[in-house]
Each structure stands twice: as C-alpha cells, then as structure tokens.
Structure 1
C-alpha cells in the first residue's frame, strides 16, 4: 500500500477534461480518462484532493462516418443535471474587459471505503453573462484562439477563485497539462508577485511531445482577452518574447514538473533544455478497467487486488484455463457488440486485433495496410484474423480525418478477404469492451511522439498482450515474447523509411510468431496473457503513479 506522508494537506487537480463515464461528455481521450483514474485513486488512498475542470456541456464531438469513411461532426450534448449537483457559489473573472460570472457543479467520487473526492465543473452558461460568454465552457478544445484563451482564463483563474469561494485550503495546485497555467498568475498576484512562493504551490505535468500541441497566444490577443491582469513585460519574463507559451509559463512557476514516461521525459528535456523535468510514468485505475470476468478471477486468486494492485504480480499462480475462459467471456461480449453496431459479421473464435485511440497521423492507424497483398497472404496462410478500429478526429483535424478515410477505404477494399470495421463514436464504454475483448492490442506511433499510451495498460489489466513500436510506456513494459512484442527498431535507432521498416516487421511478427502461437500453441499464448497481468498490470496503475506524485511532487 501507498504510505501517505503526514505533512501532506490538500491537492487541487486541474484538468481541462476529466473522464468519469461515457454519458458525461466531459472528455475527449486519454488525458481526460487519466484525470478520472487519478481522482478515483485519490479517493482510494484517502488523499484530500479536489478536481477542477469545465462543464463541456456540448461535449467534444459526436462522430458519424458516412459510407465513404468521412467523419461528420456535431455537438455531443449531455444533461449535467442527470449527473451533477449545482452549487450556489459563484466567482467572477474579467474577459475582454468585462465581468464573466462562473457557476460551479459538483460530482463526488467515493471509494469502496467511503472516502470522497469532489470534482468541480465550471460553467459560464449563466443568465448574468452576455451571450458570447455563455458558451465559453460548452465545447471542449474549440479551435478559435480567442475562445481557447477565454476557456483557459475560466479554468485557471476562475478555478483558483472558486476554490477560495468554497473555502478550500490548497497545499498543491497540480496542472494536468498547460491549459490551466493561468492559475499560476492568479497565485502570483495573491503572493505579492513572489515567484518562489508560487513555485512551492505548483506542480506541472506535460503530456505531449508535440511542439504544435503546446498552446501559445499572441500578446496582442492576450492584451485583448486577459487585459492588464499581469503586465506583458512580466509575461515575457515568464514565457517567451514572441508569444505567451502556456507550458513555459507553467514550467517557470512550478516547483516540480514531470513528463509521463521515461522516454517522454527525455523528449521533453530536448524540447525544454533549460528546465528540470522529471518523469512519472502514467498508469490506469484497475478497478475501473478490469473486466467483470477477470475481476471474478482476481477476486478468487489475488484477493485484495483492488486496494493494492501490486498484488496482481501473483497472477502467475492463476490457472491457465481460468484466464482463457475469462478472456473468451469478454471476447464474446465485444464481438456481439461489434456485430450489433456495424455491418460486418465477426466470429468470436477468430484471432482479433484491436486498434483504438484518438485519431492522429503520428499514431499511424494505416501502418498495417502498407502491403495489403502481404496482409491477405497472412490471413490465407496463417489463419483468419479480424481487426477492429476506433477513434475520433478533432473537428478541425483534417489530416486526422484523412487518416480515418484511408483506413476505412482499405477496410472496404479488403472486405472479401479480411473482416474489419471502424467503430463510430469511440468512448469509455467502447474502450472497456475493446481492451478486454480483443486478442491483441496494436499500437503503431512514430517513435518519440507517443507520450505514454495508457490504452495498452488497460489491455494488460485483462491479459491482452500488445504489439507496438517501442515508444511511450511500452519501452518500459515490453519483454519480447513474454508480455508482448515490439515493432521495428530500438528507440534510439532511426530507420530511413519508418513506414516500410515498421510495416515489414509488423507482418513478420504476425506471420512468424503471433498467429502461429495463438492458433497452434494455446498454452504459450495464455502464459503470455498471464505475464501481461503479472508484469505490466501489477505496475502500470494509478496507485503506483499517485504514490510517486506524493513522494516527488506533493511533499
């Protein structure tokens, strides 16, 4: 169990998105789901904490794919009253020189032992606000820069103020990505512009190795929207001359900063060489992501795993037949759901590959299609296999939408040879079904561009091995032919043609190792499944992750 330091008081965990359940459209992907898992773990470990986010009442994006694989976008609205309690307290921030009132909703996470952690959802859709301000907290990651900066004012400055209104005594403010960085300016003003005092209060976690994904705002826009909250000369000292760089602002006003895997830490230090950036590898919340069938097995053979996931290392003692039967049960649920929600008829006895994550070009969902003739040959000579894809593109992400179009085009092209489908509306429910029900989890990011990749950790919780390029957490969790398999070269090696090199190795792994093992050596296959639980699921969980934050960041 994690030992909580006695001097620890209360942490405020700020995140633009927090994923708690599929019908609450408050998240877009891994960042929000991680935030939800983290807050659940705070509750499990009896840690005084409070989550702060925005309401996102119109969700992120409702995804529909037309017959040609084009993503059709629309709002994904939900009713906060069905899930949250509105509180009477409000606060105010200035945006474009005018007062904007912020309301707040609350949801409490409760541990099995009854300890609760509240989450506060900020809302500007109030009658007192002008129409253009009422929409600020409705859409997650709106592309307009003015809208985005307004959101970050509400989250950072408004979030810090609502905590004061509610009487919270915060020991640490944890910024989960830089969207809430402006809270550091609010604290700076409260601390009479003493930067060292603010650093003692702030923790910053960066989640992306993509330079373009770090928010920046021109100082002209900052003056228009934020006003003279802090002088531009002060902001330039805390950021950069050309623009307000939110990650640099957070780095300059945080006493502790970290990346989310060892490899991501190396990349982050290259991006920000003047800063000390530690690494704490992400995890997942096992009680949330372990499927019903595997939970029953763990309850029998690894009692206490929910409160102490490290105990899953004892999975090596679980009988192989029980692991296989639990997997078949979850696979049947998945295939039934897929067949009910797509036009393809899949078979729960056929080897099934899953690829599901936020649609982005660097994740290379189309890598498996580099040589379609080879792919069909493998299916004919090594045994049938089927592939399930899922993942949303950002509404303004044209290249991501093109990636979906290429994948669905290949699916149609190969429909007579290999059963494949692209599921619409990927969410937490589909994520749970897929990570428990597929036989193999496929992950193909370009090296150095995957910060962590927690979906493979969820799969490991259910004994599903991973086939992946060596990036993110897989560099740490990969044991070849033991917990899964790697694709391509070592992390430090750079192939001349990464697509060709990686796709060739992907085919070889499927053809020579993975499919022969699945169909002809069931005993070894189940042993690899068991290893994924014992070696990966027992370590890559949020109980371990939060313990590292307690020791390294919060005290």
Structure 2
C-alpha cells in the first residue's frame, strides 16, 4: 500500500486504505466513490480498487482531489468508514457487552469475498466469505484463517468441442486487496509445521474484511523446497497426499499463525472438516503445559464448533492410515497417546476400507456441531449416528443452522434503492425483522417491474459485452460467440441455472424430453430461454460431460438460440445472473443438497425460485413465492426420480410459469408475476440472510461454547 500512498494526493490520501478493506465491496457509497473516480477503469478492472489505483493516471487523481463534488463524496464515505470501524453500537456489542474480548477463530479451506481475490471454488467459499462479512457488520470479535492460493481456483475455458479445460493463472498479489503481515522490523512473519520429517514454512497475508481480519497462509517462500512451495498454490488440486499436507498446514499451521500474531481465540470454528487437525494442535499445546490427553481434549472440546456441509458420505475427506502415520508419526507422542488411540480418533469404515475421516475427527472432538439446513441436520444425524452408537438418530448431537447470504453483497443497487424508498433508509440494519418487509406492499407493481427489466437488460448487456471483449482479444472462437448469450432475446422469459457441475445437481434434467422442451422454448408468442454457467471439478469427468452436453445443445440451431452456456462462472458474473434472470432453476437429487445459497441471492432480488424441495427451499417455499418441483418424496430408483421431476418442471412451465409471465395488463405489467416477485423478497429476505444466520451461530453455538469453556477453565 506504500507506493499507492505515494501516488495519491494528500487530500484524498485515505482512498488507498479504503481500497484495501473489502468493506467497500458491500457498501454502495464506497463503490460509488470508486466508480466516480474513473468509471471506464472501474469496469475494466472488474471493480478492483487496488488495481484501479495502480493503473490510474496521477493526473486523474489530482483532478479528483480538486473536484469539490468528489471531495464531498470522499469525506462522506470516510466518515461512514470510520464510524463502522469504531465498532460501537453493533448488535454483538449491545447484546453481549461482556464478551467483546472472546475472539472467534473461523477456519475455512476457501473464502469467496470478491472476484479480485479468487481463492474460492463455489458455495462453501461464498458462504465463508459471507459469514466473515456479516460477522463484521454485527460486530463479532472474529478472525478468519485460510489459504492464500497464488493460482486460486482454475479459470474455465470451453473450446469449440465443449470439453472443459482448466487454466491456472498466477494471481498478481500486488493487485489484490491483501497485505503481508510484518514484524516490527518490517520482515514477513513466518510459521512452520513439520511435514513428514521436515519443516515447511509459510508466510501470512492479511485481508481486511470490514472490522475483522482474515489471515491467509502461503507456502511459496524461499525457505521451502520447490514441492513445498507449491503446496498452497492451488485450491482442490492434487492427490490425497497433497490434500493431507494442505489440511495439516491449515489446521496446525493456522493455530500457530494466530499464536505468533498474539491472538488467543476463545472459540475455534471449523467450517467443514478440512481444518479439523487444529483441535489436535490445541490439545498438544495443553499437554505441553502439563495436562493429560483426556483433560486437554475435554477443555478444547468445549471451545470447538464444527459445521458440516456435505450430506454425501463420499464427500468427506478420509485418509489411509498409512498416510496418517507417515505425517503424524511422533505427533501422537506429543499428545501423550498411542498410535492406535490416535488413529481411532478419526477411524471410520469407508467404502474402500478403514480410514481416518476428518469429519469423524471433528465430530468426536467438538463440543458443538451443526448442519446447514433443517433437512441437512436430519440427514447428518442419521449419517453419523455410528459415531454415537448408543444414541438414536434423533439424539445425535448435530443441530442445524440454515445458511444465508450476505444481503449487502448480493442485493442489486436498483433493488436496494426501492427498499430505501418503501421500507425505509434503515432497512439494512434490521433486515432480519420480517415485520419491516410488510411495507414492500407499498411499492407499486410498475416500479418493481421496471427495475427488474432494467436488471435484465444489464444482464444481457453484460453477456454481449463479455463475448465482444473476448472476441476482440482473441480468446473466443466463432462457436463461443454463438453459445455464450449473444443470441438471447431480452424480452423472453429467461431461466437461470448457475452452480457447480456435480452430477447430483442434475444440470441436464430439463433436457430429458427434448421435444417437449423445444415446444416450450420455441413458442413464438411466449418464448423461453435458459442461461447456464458453472464449473466442474477438474477431476470430475461426469461433471465435464454434463457441461459438454449443454454446450453442444447451445450450438444446436434447432433450439433457436434459446440455450446459452457462459464460461468461467465467478462472483462477478453471479451478481448479474442472480439479479437479471426471471426464474432461478435448481433441481438437485433430494436430499443431496445440504443447503444451497444461489437461490437465496435470486430470491432477495425478486427472482422466484423453481426448485426441488431440498436444502433451504424446503424451509423457504410457502406456495406463493415461487414453485416447488415435485414433492418431498425420495426415490430408490434414480431414473424414476429423474422422470418424475422432469415432468414436474415441464408441467409447471407449461401450466403456470410461462402463462403467468406473459399475462400482461394494458400497461404491459404482469401483475400476477410481480406479486410472486414481491412475495419472494418479503418471505425470504429476513429468513435467508447471514444476519439471521450469524445471530443464530452466536446465540446457539458461540456463546454456549464460551459459557461451557468458562465453566471448565484451562
């Protein structure tokens, strides 16, 4: 940040400080400031203020410093920024005034905060990022721990044959909102972890997420061997050995990073099992202080919270005993237990044999555990009953807190303005209060509809401009020009489907009866079109096959340009899609979706969901705010389930959704449709925001853990 400060005129000198705090990314006034500074550059950098300030001309900065209107806006934003950072008057501060020094450490393998920091792959990372942002908004004493992936997750490229290719690009860290953590002499702070007999070192990066820090470990340092420098290079790549090394570094290294920074958390929260080795490191510290293993594990258990996100057994990390022995030989001696006892902490029978399961380790050693929706809680209790063999499934100690989305991040500016106007300018502070949303009835149908049409035009413009720019720079072939959205009709009913391409999400379900779908899409009076986006894991061949199938259909002229597949889905694109389509489609195989959050983003923007009654939608659907595919049945025969659900989609489109969308009055307003949009917002905005979610985590997990640990001090 130093060289940026040298470049920026003193009158607007703190704009660099603002650029390095991601608070700007969910604060309209701050985004407006950067937009005003240089709008073409704002667009070119995909809304990255750090890159903007590096590339902007000194003349432009001096011009802004002399612009009285810009200075007024700058002063207003910095005043708001300082008030926010002050942390007084927040929900946590007022509700738990005596717990302000009880730090909550939140560990996650990925954090989806902004597209300028691509260290996320999908829903888990976006949830972690939203969790961190809301923790800041509510004033929680919170610190995040994760990895700095210099190559991030892969960039998706679709050649003319449609088979996904993974392209890894080195992140220019100088253009990202991250800063190295330095000691008093200006040197980078390092930690080290023993991996199979040799120390592996990591530097620490600092990301400012509003009021709270996020620390990211990075093994790409000179002290390490070349293969160790690559350890944190990429997200979700490599074999089991790479994965266990990453998870040791995250769990054990993450604890050591906080210790060297002088941070001693009261609560350790593991978001998924990837970081579960942190519990062992915390136990090891207490054993070194004189406790035995049972005493230490009892103390740490009371301080540990574990959230599981995966309702599929194969989705939980498990390592062979041989691999665990290779990396933990000698470590169990430091815990004061035997090899057999150590392996038993995570021992679990997998399909391929006995193994060390990270979820089992976390469940056994955490005092509080939860799933991420009511249905997922039920599934998890049944799935992990064997960890508590004397308990019935109902008595398995896994609760549930349904996921949410960070409303300020995902709400469209135009929708935000409508809420300011009709709900009140203070709506954001109490958006988890369902009563305030009754005021949305005062917003005229015409206004809601015109705002939606404006957002739909923005989506279509974004897709066309994306294709044009890629065509100009030579990264698009002619096929992609046709398949990536340029042929879409801005007037047609537009369905959005964007998420990770895993087979259980059934991306191609709507194509099961292609002839019937064609009739729906190509109706000249009531046309329908579908936009797809999403990545398959680089090792997921069936997922890549689904992408290729849709891509080839998008090329098919018999579908009249009504199918588009937009490559390289990311947070930036997600905002346009979840704000600009007409219907959000989600059809996973029930009950395999733990929660899902993309549909929540659509719902709060007035985009009705067309979804299976799985994950969050079982709780969100009320009969008037969207549509339910099928019912709550679960099938033994997958083909029968697919047939049943596909027919339900077609029938809903033919009989309800398409007719309602095109039923316009004399003013061209689809009154019935707008009422569903309104109800989608009214019913879902208070329930499925991270504000409600973090308050539940705080009262149901964090505070309970703090009280339990204080009752049994170390």
TM-score, with structure 2 as normaliser: 0.75
2:601 to 458, 462, 466: 458
2:534 to 375, 388, 391: 391
Aligned residue for 1:423?
Answer: 566
Moved more, 261-270 or 70-79: 70-79
| Alignment partner of 1:333 is 2:463 | no
- Alpha-carbon deviation of 1:409? 2.3
2:103 to 2, 6, 10: 10
Indicate the SS of the match to 1:34.
helix
Aligned equivalents of 1:227 and 1:134: distance in 2? 23
Aligned equivalents of 1:5 and 1:493: distance in 2? 46
Indicate the SS of the match to 2:428.
coil
Preserved CA contact (<8 Å) 1:313 1:533? no
Preserved CA contact (<8 Å) 1:518 1:525? yes
Aligned residue for 1:294?
Answer: 415
- Where in structure 2 are the equivalents of 1:243-254 lying within 5 Å? 243-254=355-366
- Where in structure 2 are the equivalents of 1:278-357 lying within 5 Å? 278-302=399-423, 303-310=425-432, 311-340=436-465, 341=467, 342-343=481-482, 344-357=486-499
Preserved CA contact (<8 Å) 2:381 2:397? yes
Aligned residue for 2:157?
Answer: 64
Aligned equivalents of 1:491 and 1:289: distance in 2? 32
Indicate the SS of the match to 1:118.
strand
Preserved CA contact (<8 Å) 1:385 1:418? no
Aligned residues: 549
Aligned equivalents of 2:618 and 2:557: distance in 1? 32
- Alpha-carbon deviation of 1:32? 0.5
- Where in structure 2 are the equivalents of 1:85-484 lying within 5 Å? 85-88=179-182, 89-110=189-210, 116-192=211-287, 193=293, 194-230=296-332, 231-240=338-347, 242-273=354-385, 274=388, 275-302=396-423, 303-310=425-432, 311-340=436-465, 341=467, 342-343=481-482, 344-381=486-523, 383-413=526-556, 415-480=558-623, 482-484=624-626
Preserved CA contact (<8 Å) 1:216 1:244? yes
Indicate the SS of the match to 1:489.
coil
Higher helix share: 2
Aligned equivalents of 1:364 and 1:11: distance in 2? 37
- Alpha-carbon deviation of 1:219? 1.4
Aligned equivalents of 1:227 and 1:124: distance in 2? 22
Indicate the SS of the match to 1:282.
coil
Preserved CA contact (<8 Å) 1:177 1:207? yes
Bigger-Rg structure (1/2): 2
Preserved CA contact (<8 Å) 1:219 1:232? no
Distance 1:442 1:78, change over 3 A: same
Aligned residue for 2:34?
Answer: none
Aligned equivalents of 2:657 and 2:139: distance in 1? 42
Aligned equivalents of 1:498 and 1:413: distance in 2? 27
CA-to-aligned-CA distance 1:69-104 (integer Å, 9 cap, x gap): 100112133122322110122211000110111110
Higher strand share: 1
Bigger RCO (CA 8 Å, 6+ sep): 1
Aligned equivalents of 1:447 and 1:77: distance in 2? 38
- Alpha-carbon deviation of 1:411? 2.3
Distance 1:291 1:415, change over 3 A: farther
Preserved CA contact (<8 Å) 1:17 1:35? yes
CA-to-aligned-CA distance 1:353-403 (integer Å, 9 cap, x gap): 000001100000000100111011123446111110000011111111011
- Alpha-carbon deviation of 1:158? 0.3
Aligned equivalents of 1:54 and 1:172: distance in 2? 20
Aligned equivalents of 1:284 and 1:85: distance in 2? 27
Indicate the SS of the match to 2:518.
helix
Preserved CA contact (<8 Å) 1:2 1:45? yes
Indicate the SS of the match to 2:269.
strand
Preserved CA contact (<8 Å) 1:25 1:76? no
Moved more, 495-504 or 277-286: 495-504
- Where in structure 2 are the equivalents of 1:511-530 lying within 5 Å? 511-521=654-664, 522-530=670-678
Aligned equivalents of 1:75 and 1:464: distance in 2? 33
Distance 1:415 1:392, change over 3 A: farther
Aligned equivalents of 1:188 and 1:306: distance in 2? 41
Distance 1:316 1:493, change over 3 A: farther
Distance 1:299 1:244, change over 3 A: same
Aligned residue for 2:113?
Answer: 20
Aligned equivalents of 2:133 and 2:251: distance in 1? 22
- Alpha-carbon deviation of 1:227? 3.0
Structure 2 unaligned regions, length at least 5: 1-89, 183-188, 288-292, 333-337, 349-353, 389-395, 468-480, 665-669, 704-714
- Alpha-carbon deviation of 1:313? 4.9
Aligned equivalents of 1:546 and 1:475: distance in 2? 20
Aligned residue for 1:113?
Answer: none
CA-to-aligned-CA distance 1:175-227 (integer Å, 9 cap, x gap): 00110000010011122222211111110000111111100011111122333
CA-to-aligned-CA distance 1:486-517 (integer Å, 9 cap, x gap): 11122456677011111011000000000100
Indicate the SS of the match to 1:243.
strand
Aligned equivalents of 2:283 and 2:169: distance in 1? 37
Aligned equivalents of 1:527 and 1:494: distance in 2? 37
